[in-house]
Homo-oligomer: A and B are copies of this chain.
Protein backbone atom coordinates (compact mmCIF):
# COMPACT_ATOMS: atom_id res chain seq x y z
CA UNK A 1 0.00 0.00 0.00
CA UNK A 2 2.78 2.39 0.90
CA UNK A 3 6.25 2.89 -0.43
CA UNK A 4 9.44 2.93 1.54
CA UNK A 5 11.12 0.48 3.87
CA UNK A 6 9.21 -1.97 6.04
CA UNK A 7 9.51 -0.24 9.35
CA UNK A 8 6.97 -2.46 11.12
CA UNK A 9 9.03 -5.59 10.90
CA UNK A 10 12.12 -4.10 12.53
CA UNK A 11 10.10 -2.30 15.15
CA UNK A 12 8.20 -5.48 15.98
CA UNK A 13 11.50 -7.25 16.49
CA UNK A 14 12.51 -4.65 19.05
CA UNK A 15 9.00 -4.51 20.44
CA UNK A 16 8.98 -7.80 22.28
CA UNK A 17 10.00 -7.38 25.94
CA UNK A 18 12.37 -10.32 25.97
CA UNK A 19 14.13 -9.16 22.82
CA UNK A 20 14.21 -5.57 24.02
CA UNK A 21 15.93 -6.72 27.19
CA UNK A 22 18.53 -8.53 25.15
CA UNK A 23 19.17 -5.54 22.94
CA UNK A 24 19.41 -3.26 25.96
CA UNK A 25 21.93 -5.63 27.48
CA UNK A 26 23.94 -5.57 24.27
CA UNK A 27 24.02 -1.79 24.42
CA UNK A 28 26.64 -2.46 27.05
CA UNK A 29 28.95 -3.20 24.14
CA UNK A 30 30.11 -6.58 25.31
CA UNK A 31 29.31 -9.57 23.14
CA UNK A 32 27.13 -11.98 25.09
CA UNK A 33 26.34 -15.67 24.73
CA UNK A 34 22.92 -17.17 24.24
CA UNK A 35 22.71 -18.30 27.87
CA UNK A 36 23.75 -14.91 29.17
CA UNK A 37 21.15 -13.20 27.03
CA UNK A 38 18.53 -15.70 28.14
CA UNK A 39 19.36 -14.77 31.72
CA UNK A 40 19.12 -11.05 30.91
CA UNK A 41 15.76 -11.49 29.27
CA UNK A 42 14.42 -13.81 31.92
CA UNK A 43 13.47 -16.63 29.54
CA UNK A 44 14.71 -20.15 28.94
CA UNK A 45 17.55 -20.87 26.57
CA UNK A 46 15.28 -22.32 23.89
CA UNK A 47 13.19 -19.20 23.84
CA UNK A 48 16.26 -17.01 23.77
CA UNK A 49 17.66 -18.98 20.87
CA UNK A 50 14.50 -18.44 18.90
CA UNK A 51 14.49 -14.72 19.63
CA UNK A 52 18.13 -14.32 18.71
CA UNK A 53 17.74 -16.00 15.37
CA UNK A 54 14.91 -13.60 14.60
CA UNK A 55 16.93 -10.58 15.62
CA UNK A 56 19.81 -11.87 13.55
CA UNK A 57 17.53 -12.45 10.59
CA UNK A 58 16.41 -8.85 10.87
CA UNK A 59 19.99 -7.68 10.61
CA UNK A 60 20.13 -6.28 14.12
CA UNK A 61 22.81 -8.57 15.46
CA UNK A 62 26.21 -9.84 14.56
CA UNK A 63 26.75 -13.44 15.64
CA UNK A 64 30.17 -15.00 16.10
CA UNK A 65 30.85 -18.62 16.91
CA UNK A 66 33.70 -19.44 19.20
CA UNK A 67 33.99 -23.06 20.04
CA UNK A 68 30.73 -24.21 21.46
CA UNK A 69 29.75 -20.69 22.42
CA UNK A 70 27.86 -18.32 20.21
CA UNK A 71 28.44 -14.66 20.89
CA UNK A 72 26.09 -11.92 19.84
CA UNK A 73 26.68 -8.20 19.61
CA UNK A 74 24.77 -5.37 17.98
CA UNK A 75 25.22 -5.37 14.22
CA UNK A 76 26.54 -1.81 13.97
CA UNK A 77 26.34 1.72 15.28
CA UNK A 78 23.13 2.43 13.37
CA UNK A 79 21.32 -0.13 15.45
CA UNK A 80 22.69 1.36 18.66
CA UNK A 81 21.67 4.76 17.41
CA UNK A 82 18.07 3.73 16.84
CA UNK A 83 17.94 2.03 20.22
CA UNK A 84 19.14 5.20 21.92
CA UNK A 85 16.50 7.10 20.00
CA UNK A 86 13.81 4.76 21.23
CA UNK A 87 15.07 5.14 24.78
CA UNK A 88 14.76 8.88 24.32
CA UNK A 89 11.14 8.53 23.25
CA UNK A 90 10.37 6.14 26.08
CA UNK A 91 12.04 8.41 28.62
CA UNK A 92 10.27 11.41 27.14
CA UNK A 93 6.85 9.85 27.48
CA UNK A 94 7.69 9.34 31.11
CA UNK A 95 7.92 5.58 31.05
CA UNK A 96 10.80 4.19 32.98
CA UNK A 97 11.00 0.51 33.66
CA UNK A 98 11.51 1.11 37.27
CA UNK A 99 11.01 4.14 39.39
CA UNK A 100 14.01 6.43 39.33
CA UNK A 101 16.48 5.21 41.88
CA UNK A 102 20.03 5.95 42.93
CA UNK A 103 21.32 3.75 40.15
CA UNK A 104 19.64 5.97 37.62
CA UNK A 105 21.68 8.94 38.76
CA UNK A 106 24.84 6.97 38.14
CA UNK A 107 23.49 5.97 34.73
CA UNK A 108 22.92 9.55 33.84
CA UNK A 109 26.39 10.59 34.84
CA UNK A 110 28.36 7.98 32.94
CA UNK A 111 27.30 4.85 31.19
CA UNK A 112 28.42 2.75 28.29
CA UNK A 113 26.51 3.15 25.03
CA UNK A 114 27.39 0.19 22.86
CA UNK A 115 31.11 0.53 23.74
CA UNK A 116 31.68 4.21 24.12
CA UNK A 117 31.10 6.74 26.88
CA UNK A 118 27.64 8.25 27.25
CA UNK A 119 25.85 10.33 29.84
CA UNK A 120 26.92 13.69 31.24
CA UNK A 121 30.60 12.90 31.02
CA UNK A 122 30.17 11.65 27.46
CA UNK A 123 28.61 14.84 26.23
CA UNK A 124 31.07 16.91 28.21
CA UNK A 125 33.93 15.13 26.50
CA UNK A 126 32.35 15.64 23.12
CA UNK A 127 31.71 19.35 23.64
CA UNK A 128 35.16 19.86 25.01
CA UNK A 129 36.81 18.15 22.04
CA UNK A 130 34.87 20.39 19.69
CA UNK A 131 35.67 23.51 21.66
CA UNK A 132 39.36 22.73 21.78
CA UNK A 133 39.33 22.30 18.03
CA UNK A 134 40.33 18.66 18.20
CA UNK A 135 37.17 17.60 16.48
CA UNK A 136 35.35 19.48 13.73
CA UNK A 137 32.29 18.87 11.63
CA UNK A 138 33.06 18.33 7.99
CA UNK A 139 29.67 18.53 6.39
CA UNK A 140 27.81 15.70 8.05
CA UNK A 141 30.88 13.81 9.19
CA UNK A 142 33.11 14.32 12.16
CA UNK A 143 36.76 14.90 11.50
CA UNK A 144 39.76 14.60 13.81
CA UNK A 145 41.99 17.64 13.27
CA UNK A 146 45.78 17.65 13.35
CA UNK A 147 45.70 18.96 16.92
CA UNK A 148 43.18 16.25 17.74
CA UNK A 149 45.48 13.59 16.37
CA UNK A 150 48.26 14.86 18.58
CA UNK A 151 45.88 14.95 21.52
CA UNK A 152 44.76 11.35 21.27
CA UNK A 153 48.25 10.08 20.52
CA UNK A 154 49.48 11.90 23.62
CA UNK A 155 46.82 10.05 25.57
CA UNK A 156 48.25 6.77 24.34
CA UNK A 157 45.79 5.81 21.64
CA UNK A 158 47.23 4.17 18.55
CA UNK A 159 45.54 5.96 15.66
CA UNK A 160 47.18 3.90 12.94
CA UNK A 161 45.74 0.79 14.52
CA UNK A 162 42.28 2.33 14.68
CA UNK A 163 42.34 3.34 11.04
CA UNK A 164 42.92 -0.26 10.01
CA UNK A 165 39.43 -0.92 11.28
CA UNK A 166 36.87 -0.55 8.54
CA UNK A 167 34.30 1.16 10.75
CA UNK A 168 34.01 4.93 11.06
CA UNK A 169 36.58 6.67 13.23
CA UNK A 170 34.43 9.48 14.59
CA UNK A 171 30.71 9.56 14.76
CA UNK A 172 28.18 11.39 16.84
CA UNK A 173 25.56 9.56 18.80
CA UNK A 174 22.52 11.09 20.44
CA UNK A 175 22.19 10.63 24.17
CA UNK A 176 18.74 9.76 25.51
CA UNK A 177 19.35 11.23 28.93
CA UNK A 178 21.25 14.33 27.91
CA UNK A 179 19.56 14.93 24.57
CA UNK A 180 22.94 15.96 23.24
CA UNK A 181 25.63 14.28 21.20
CA UNK A 182 28.52 12.24 22.45
CA UNK A 183 31.35 10.58 20.58
CA UNK A 184 30.86 7.17 19.01
CA UNK A 185 32.81 5.32 16.34
CA UNK A 186 36.06 3.47 16.82
CA UNK A 187 37.67 6.53 18.40
CA UNK A 188 34.86 6.70 20.92
CA UNK A 189 35.49 3.08 21.75
CA UNK A 190 39.23 3.70 22.01
CA UNK A 191 38.73 6.55 24.46
CA UNK A 192 36.69 4.41 26.79
CA UNK A 193 39.00 1.44 26.70
CA UNK A 194 41.93 3.79 27.30
CA UNK A 195 40.21 5.17 30.37
CA UNK A 196 39.81 1.64 31.58
CA UNK A 197 43.42 0.83 30.75
CA UNK A 198 44.56 3.80 32.81
CA UNK A 199 42.29 2.64 35.65
CA UNK A 200 40.44 5.92 35.52
CA UNK A 201 37.16 4.16 34.96
CA UNK A 202 35.63 0.76 35.47
CA UNK A 203 32.53 -0.78 33.93
CA UNK A 204 29.96 -2.43 36.07
CA UNK A 205 29.43 -5.88 34.59
CA UNK A 206 25.69 -6.12 35.06
CA UNK A 207 24.37 -2.58 34.69
CA UNK A 208 25.71 -0.17 32.12
CA UNK A 209 27.17 2.14 34.73
CA UNK A 210 30.74 3.38 34.39
CA UNK A 211 32.32 4.45 37.65
CA UNK A 212 35.29 6.79 37.68
CA UNK A 213 37.95 6.77 40.40
CA UNK A 214 38.72 10.02 42.21
CA UNK A 215 41.95 10.30 40.30
CA UNK A 216 40.24 9.34 37.06
CA UNK A 217 37.63 12.03 37.31
CA UNK A 218 40.31 14.62 38.08
CA UNK A 219 42.37 13.65 35.04
CA UNK A 220 39.24 13.57 32.94
CA UNK A 221 38.22 17.09 33.96
CA UNK A 222 41.75 18.28 33.24
CA UNK A 223 41.73 16.85 29.73
CA UNK A 224 38.13 17.76 28.97
CA UNK A 225 37.32 21.00 30.77
CA UNK A 226 33.66 21.94 30.70
CA UNK A 227 32.76 24.58 28.20
A residues contacting B by CB (< 8 A) are 1-17, 19-21, 23-25, 40, 42, 58-60, 78-79, 81-83, 85-98, 103-104, 107, 123, 126-127, 130-131, 137, 139-140, 172, 176, 180-181, 207-208, 227
Contacts of A2 in B (CB 8 A): 21, 24-25, 40, 97
Bound Cα distance from A126 to B207, whole angstroms? 39
User: What secondary structure prevails in chain A residues at the interface with B?
Assistant: helix
What is the oligomeric copy number?
Answer: 2
Bound Cα distance from A81 to B24, whole angstroms? 20
Bound Cα distance from A9 to B92, whole angstroms? 13
Bound Cα distance from A5 to B25, whole angstroms? 12
Q: Which of the residues B91, B103, B208 comes within 8 Å of A5, measured between beta carbons?
A: B91
Contacts of A90 in B (CB 8 A): 5-7, 9-10
Bound Cα distance from A8 to B15, whole angstroms? 4
Bound Cα distance from A40 to B208, whole angstroms? 40
Contacts of A1 in B (CB 8 A): 21, 40, 42
Cβ contacts A to B, 21 pairs, < 8 Å: A1-B42, A4-B24, A4-B96, A6-B96, A8-B14, A8-B20, A9-B95, A10-B95, A11-B20, A12-B12, A14-B15, A15-B15, A59-B94, A81-B85, A82-B85, A82-B86, A126-B139, A130-B139, A137-B137, A139-B180, A139-B181
Bound Cα distance from A145 to B104, whole angstroms? 38
Are B25 and A7 neighbours in the complex by a CB distance under 8 Å? no
Cβ-closest 6 pairs across A and B: A59-B93, A12-B15, A8-B20, A5-B90, A15-B15, A11-B14
Contacts of A60 in B (CB 8 A): 89, 93
Q: Which of the residues B89, B107, B207 comes within 8 Å of A59, measured between beta carbons?
A: B89
